[in-house]
Structure 1
Amino acid sequence: MDTTQYLDVFIDESNEHLEALYKHLLALEKNPKEKSIIGEIFRSAHTLKGMSATMGFSDLANLTHQLENVFDGIRYDKISIKTETMDALFEAVDHLNAMVENIRDGGKGERDVKQIVSILKKVEHDDQDITDSEQSYIEPTEVVNSLQSISTLDEFELSILNESAERGYTNYEITVHLREDCLLKGARVFMIFEVLEKLGEVIKADPPVNELEEENFEYSFSVLFISESSKTDIEANINKVSEIENVIVNSFSVKAYKEKQQITPSEIVAEQKQTSATVENKSEPATNNNKRTSSKTIRVNIERLDVLMNLFEELVIDRGRLEQISSELNNNDLQETVERMSRVSSDLQSIILTMRMVPVDQVFSRFPRMIRQLARDLGKDVDVEIVGAETELDRTVIDEIGDPLVHLIRNAMDHGIEIPSTRKEKGKPEKGTVKLQAYHSGNHVFIEISDDGAGIDKDKVLNKAISNGVIAEAQVETLTEQQVYELIMASGFSTADTISDISGRGVGLDVVKNTIESLGGSITIDATLGQGSTFSVQLPLTLSIMSVLLVELSEEKYAIPLSSIIETAIIHKDQIMQAHNKKVIDFRGKVVPLAFLNDIFDVENKKNTTDSDYLSIVIVKKGNKSAGLVVDSFIGQQEVVLKSLGNYLTNVFAISGATILGDGQVALIIDSNALVK
């Protein structure tokens, strides 16, 4: 059977199950006795095994099967959870992740897993001490299910069944077995329920409906069904759905059900009720009113969203042109139409941008297991706290921000958090904490990585900066506390006594800074010696459509992103002063250097603005630094689409891209970060 058409779905769903495995393994390590966590882990592993086997990836299926055996042993208390056990489980999931990545890159998911399989088998057999009586023990749920496929019914459901029988309807118990090579089991279940809802009413499903939708079952399920149709008609209609092995339709007797419940041993009933309660609590409320709810989400290829975004960007350009024409013609009907179009397109813009937003949890979710491994390697005890994982960012920003955050976390782990004995001497808890926090503020998202470790030694940083020639000794007195901390982001700077692949606050921090600034963001550092450090990253919500201030240089138009502007001002030439051979102004008590854009971009001054006694200035910021950009005049605020300059115009100084204005002119977008020094 050709399964290539299902490959993208397989990869997406496999990644979701692997993320779930990592997440629940971390939770299990903290709460080894929590049965609900073990159940979630087992379901993810079991589903991944079935998907892999169906798609023909045998290595992936075999390793998952061995992993499933260990989870099964943990679930029934035959295997105890120890550090070595958790290490083996994490390593196995790492192998599974590597296999799925190989499949995504066009491979067959093949990998040498003999060593990890051997370790898992050792965990499985060495930790089990099962007597003959334990081996022959049957789980209480299995006993009840052998008596009746539908496990338990409440009084409401029983009353519905009794009433239907009194009115001449027939109660059926239907068990459907799907073929083992069935792909997209959830879709088959949906089709079967559609058939049943045309013939009667579904009272209860086992497993519950939400479990069936999420494919958290093997290849069979049962339903209690009320109908006027005959057994033969029901079987015939269900069998019209493809990929079904067989269908068993039996009459259901409420009286017989109650009799079997009464003869069931009390301990079995108690166990069954507990199991049922756990499952019912996870099911959706909609199952109680006997209505099946369909999924409200669909998978969309990100390339389609990129195409949609590009089309909308063209619409934004045309919208600007229409607004300009409307203003020039001064026609009321045209102006009203354009205003309405502007409102509608603004709403459309919000929806499209929202569609491209993904939670920052996609990045955060991989950090707990990384922190766990680093803590083991460094001999430290570290807990991770995540706040605001649901905060959303544009996908393009998410794709770029992962590596910089990894650098920050590795440095916090190695250079920030102390070893347990040192923390104890300082009167701190032996277990350190790394906190990841994300939150929205205006048109930006802030991501903070903080630790309760050693902090940053300012004197050590200054001495190292002076010895490396990063700053002169005379500058030390003029630096603020945050400016001192920012020195650790200079290229190659490190305060670590010994450099390793992890060590040193400065290892990779210059790369972190450059990457974040290339995204239109900024990074600031705050620290207290002996108490900890906080790295705060500010990022724009999206990179493609931005609000800018349009300015004029002679007859050319330029755009400055509003996110970097503090304010605009008009000053008299007499206010310009000289400091260190540079022109500066005293702006609200702070010395701000001036950057004359006509000179920087070599724009011919055709309007002779030098003859004027006043200058138009845009005050921009980058972290704690600021500068005044001198322009000829202000045009106004506008939303524009950021376009790349292409491969022929790479690395143009202080220009981040271009945009097409409403009148068809091209305006270059100024990278103010490059001008603030």
Structure 2
Amino acid sequence: MGNAFDASEFLAGFLVEAEEHLSASTTNLLAVETSLRKGENNPRAVRELFRSLHTIKGLSAMVGIEPIVDVAHAMETVLRKADRAAGALSTNAFEALLAGLRAIGERVRALSTSAPVAPAPPQLLDALAALEITQDASPATVELVLDAGLSAKLSATEKAQLLQGAESGRRALRVDFVPSPARAAEGTTITSVRERIGAFAEIVKVVPLSIPASDTAPGGLAFALLVLTDATNEALAAAAATQPEHVQVLHTRRVDGADPLAEPEAAEEDVGEGRKRGIVRVEVARLDDALERLSALVITRFRLARAVDALAAQGVNVGELGEIVKGYGRQVRDLRGAIMRARMVPVAELLDRVPLIVRGLSRATKKPVRVVIDAGKAELDKAVADRVFPAIVHLIRNAVDHAIESPAERRRLGKPEEGLVRVTCFERSTNQLELGISDDGRGIDREAVAHRASRPVPADDAGLLDLITLPGLTTLDHATKTSGRGLGMDIVKRAVVELGGELSLGTTPGAGTTFTLCIPLTITIVDAFSFVCGEQTFVAPVAAIEEVVEVVPEALVRGPSRHTRFGEVRFMERRGEIVPLVNLASVFSLASREEPKALVVRRNGAALAFGIQRMVGQQEVVIRPLEDPLVKVTGVSGSTDLGDGRPTLVLDLVALSGALSQNRTEVPV
């Protein structure tokens, strides 16, 4: 039939949706485990987990992936029982559900690579079917005071969630909202009220209620929002466009023998206006294509500006044309901002998988480890995120496997048995991000590392970092399942350097280690300085340059070694700091000229200045990386086109300063 349903058309959308719901499911299941350790239930996490799996099951059925349907259905059955038992889950149930998520994830990944999808594991289905979820036999001693109509519309999990919140010190409240045409005309609807209240309160349930029709309620409809919050009645009333007297405290009372969490015979589903997510999913390939076309516009802008300058040099009046070119430049910059914002992903979303990774490493090494993630609202280009995540995983793996001590050793040292791994992230500037991975372990033994590397003991953390990132170096005698092959730190450094970033280290024996990754927010189109050195034009990203300074020849001091392979090294004073000055033309064996200006960069806290002839300007440039290993040179990260049709080298001055400080042979001469 010509109108036959073709599920393959929906496959891309299914994969995106499934990944999102798997990520949410993992987060909620780990929240359940955290509550289990405290001896508590987590009814909200159980309910959210149930919803995610229900969606995965429906999507999988739509595209005909029956193995995922079977696993999700078995997990859903367990969670439905747990939901009726106020979110109660045993450790065995948690482990079986975690295995179920892994099984679903494996089949989603197989589908994404067009590999055969394995059937649902019979042992897993049997284990899930054998689980028994029982409610605490002891009668509840506290219940919510609710009117019968409202109580009948709440599930056991929702009642438990409200009780749990109230007992933990939060305020359990009911906020009534009555919709009307007048309020809708002002933009106040149940959707906008939910969004405003949800910004500072936990909404447990929105219950529609029938009320007598009146002038203020012409539709005879009201909504009761049941929330947990620390906010005042006035703040809630303002968010709901109502009066403070319409905000009621949900009181509790002691009961004898009754079970207030019993499931009602029929609970109506939460109805009302659905939330408008305002999200359109777009394949990354389409964003890449848009960025590529934008790159062509950037180069065209350079060429247009050059053509206008040439006409002006011939005496042509280009005043009006010049204004048009300036306007075009502003529009291209705005377009760049819009496309880059579309490519950005929250760092918190990137780090969603970290808790599960740490949990697996903790079980493999038999070390209890807690992970704390503080990513704030930082965002990162999707291409950068994909390239930096393996480096983050390597650092976390090393922290758990190498740095965190065994429970017995931590007890002997007076530390908590549970180790700590902390991942932090914040925007260092408008175009640079700083990621930190730290632990409270034993620190790095300088002598042991130097012995394994057959090198002198490093004097500082920068020297230690250079040692541990040597290819093939490992401090383990035998490789384990997680590390010991001598590849991790070399991969981390290479990933950061190839992004044009910087890796630094801080370690204290017995207290822990911190690795800091400074990486650009984006790597394709960047703001850059163009400058002339040895009669040749170069480009360097603005983010890598700390300052552009004037060089005063009379104030320079010559170093003890005047004739190095990089030319003469001199020193300049900059705000009380002595900074080495190297002629950039000499580094690249170009014709050396006067160097009235210098570009100051900083690596591992140490500043270095590169002398240049003159600055040309600052502009957006499209960086084309040098992929061929035969033409890769330390200090050169790629090329760009400034509108003259000729390639202009893009310099990585931070990497170049590192090579100069170590006097490496790969530095171009």
TM-score (norm 2): 0.72
Deviations 1:324-343 (A, max 9, x none): 44455263323333333333
The number of equivalent residue pairs is 546
1:10 lines up with 2:18 in the alignment: no
Cα displacement (A) at 1:503? 4.3
**2:353 aligned residue:** 366
Which of 127, 132, 135 matches 1:119? 127
- Quote the residue 2:32 is aligned against: 28
Amino acid at match of 1:668: L
Partner residue, 1:587:
572
SS at match of 1:534: strand
Q: Which residue of 2 aligns with 1:340?
A: 327
- Distance of aligned partners of 1:155 and 1:632 in 2 relative to their CA distance in 1, 3 Å threshold: closer
Q: Is contact 1:545–1:639 with CA below 8 Å preserved after alignment? A: yes
Displacement, 1:438? 1.0
Post-superposition shift, 1:463?
3.9
1:263-662 matches, cutoff 5 A? 294-327=276-309, 329=312, 331-388=318-375, 390-442=377-429, 443-464=431-452, 468-469=453-454, 471=455, 473=456, 476=457, 479-496=459-476, 498-503=478-483, 507-566=487-546, 567-570=548-551, 572=553, 575=558, 578=561, 581-582=564-565, 583=567, 584-588=569-573, 590=578, 592=580, 594=582, 596-597=584-585, 600=588, 605=591, 609=592, 617-624=598-605, 627-644=608-625, 650-652=631-633, 654-662=635-643
State the secondary structure of the residue aligned to 2:95. Answer: helix
Amino acid at match of 2:418: K
Contact residue 548 and residue 559 of structure 1 kept, 8 A:
yes
- Greater helix proportion: 1
Q: Secondary structure at the match of 1:390?
A: coil
Q: CA deviation at 1:644?
A: 4.0
The 5 Å alignment of 1:96-245 reads 96-111=104-119, 113-122=121-130, 124-125=131-132
| CA 222–142 in structure 1, closer or farther in 2 if over 3 Å, else same | closer
- Matched position secondary structure for 2:22: helix
Confirm or deny that 1:92 pairs with 2:77. Answer: no
Deviations 1:133-179 (A, max 9, x none): xxxxxxx9999579xxxxxxx99789989xxxxxxxxxxxxxxxxxx
**TM-score for both structures, normalised by structure 1:** 0.71
The aligned amino acid for 1:377 is A
SS at match of 2:624: coil
Query: How far apart are residue 11 of structure 1 and its match?
Result: 1.2
Q: Aligned partners of 1:536 and 1:621: how far apart in 2?
A: 14
Secondary structure (helix, strand or coil) at the match of 1:364 reads helix
How large is the Cα RMSD of the aligned pairs?
4.2
Classify 1:155/1:539 alpha carbon distance in 2 versus 1 (closer, same or farther; 3 Å).
closer
Where does structure 1 differ by over 6 angstroms across 4 or more consecutive aligned residues?
A: 140-143, 154-161, 221-227, 266-277
Aligned in 2, Cα 1:431/1:302: closer, same or farther, shift over 3 Å?
same
Conserved 8 A contact 2:378-2:427? yes
Q: Is the 8 A contact 2:462 2:505 kept in 1?
A: yes
2:14 is matched by which residue type in structure 1? F
Q: Which amino acid aligns with 1:634?
A: M
**Partners in 2 of 1:569 and 1:158 — Cα distance?**
68
Answer yes or no: is the 8 Å Cα contact 1:384–1:433 preserved in 2. Answer: yes
**Distance apart, 1:16 and its partner CA:** 1.1
1:19 aligns with 2:4: no
- Give CA deviations for 1:307-355 in whole Å, capped at 9, x if unaligned: 2111211222222333444455263323333333333332222111111
- Output the amino acid matched with 1:586: F
Kept after mapping to 1: 8 A contact 2:581/2:611: no
Aligned AA for 1:43? R
CA shift for structure 1 position 498: 4.7
Q: 1:374 to 1:333 in 2, by over 3 A?
A: same
Distance change >3 Å, CA 576–CA 534, structure 1 → 2: closer
Larger Rg: 1
Relative to structure 1, is the Cα distance of residues 308 and 89 closer, same or farther in structure 2, using a 3 angstrom cutoff? same
Q: Secondary structure at the match of 1:69?
A: helix
- The offset of 1:385, in angstroms, is 0.7
Partner in structure 2 of residue 53 of structure 1: 61
- Unaligned 5+ residue runs, structure 2? 138-147, 155-173, 197-206, 214-254, 660-669
- Cα distance in 2 for partners of 1:576, 1:158 equals 79
TM-superposed CA distance for 1:38, in Å, is 0.8
| CA distance, structure 2, for counterparts of residue 160 and residue 534 of structure 1 | 56
Residue 185 of structure 1 aligns with which residue? none
Q: Please give the alpha-carbon distance, in whole angstroms, between the structure 1 residues aligned to 2:560 and 2:551.
A: 15
Deviations 1:467-507 (A, max 9, x none): x33x4x4xx58x33443344222222333455423346965
CA distance in 2, matches of 1:116, 1:141: 41
CA shift in 2, pair 1:536/1:71, >3 Å: same
For residue 10 of structure 1, give the secondary structure of its aligned residue in structure 2.
helix
Q: Is the 8 A contact 2:595 2:612 kept in 1?
A: no
Structure 1: how far apart are the matches of 2:262 and 2:121?
A: 38
In structure 2, distance between residues paired with 1:505 and 1:450? 22
Q: Which residue of 2 aligns with 1:41?
A: 49
2:70/2:120 contact within 8 Å kept:
no
Relative to 1, partners in 2 of residues 1:453 and 1:209: Cα closer, same or farther, differing over 3 Å?
Answer: closer
3-state DSSP of counterpart to 2:25: helix
Helix, strand or coil at the partner of 1:365:
helix
